[in-house]
Amino acid sequence: MIQPRIVLDVFSDYVCPFCYLEMPELNALAERFADRVTIRWRAYELRPAPEPTLDPDGDYLHDIWGRAVYPMAAERGMTLRLPRIQPRSRLAHEAAAWAEAQAAHHPGAGDAMRTALFRGFFEESLDLADSQALAGLADTLSLDGSALHHSLEQGDHRQAVLEDQRTARDLGIHGVPALRFCVDGEHAGVLEGAQPRRQLFLAMERLLDALG
């Protein structure tokens, strides 16, 4: 099978509402250009230790949700609730990487886990830093929660998560979502922030036109 020449790396964090809000736009892109682009989700922890996490009831979050998150959610037909907690997200990234590794035996496991992590946090205030909670989430997806818990305890995917973070830093990315296009393995530009699908489609069409 010939691999698409265009790769879209999506740097995101599970505590970022705009990353969740970008999912339907990226799904539309994947459907529209199914055989011409590969979408890869990459880890980016907004507030890694020891940087303090946000106050879940602070003015900053209430302001940004009121001004931007809720209006965008309504526009995109999604349900989001301001989470009651603001956990660190590294374990969630490791859980997503673990699920991706299960795809050979469980097709779609990576996508299912990614969606469940976003939905769990932004609809049910799932504690993304709780390995037991993440294992329980895996069980609901018919994956092996005990195996995930063991993997998180061992840090099997920690280096891959940290490597994604280093890649983002080397690219000058300091916020998410950040969408990096590559053509034939060469960097072709970054779009920062949640993009409407028309902008994503336009970017893809320009790259495809350049390829001839």
List, for residues 27-37, the tens digit of each pLDDT value: 999 999 999 99
Domain spans in the chain, listed from the N-terminal domain onward: 6-211
**Is this prediction's pTM over 0.85?**
yes
With bands split at pLDDT 50, 70 and 90, how would you rate the model's confidence at 212? confident
Q: Domain 6-211's class? A: alpha beta
**DSSP per residue, 61-115:** HHHHIIIIIHHHHHHTT------S-----HHHHHHHHHHHHTTTTSTTHHHHHHH
pLDDT of residue 3: 74
List, for residues 86-130, the tens digit of each pLDDT value: 999 999 999 999 999 998 899 999 999 999 999 999 999 999 999
Measured distance CA(86)–CA(82) in Å, rounded: 10
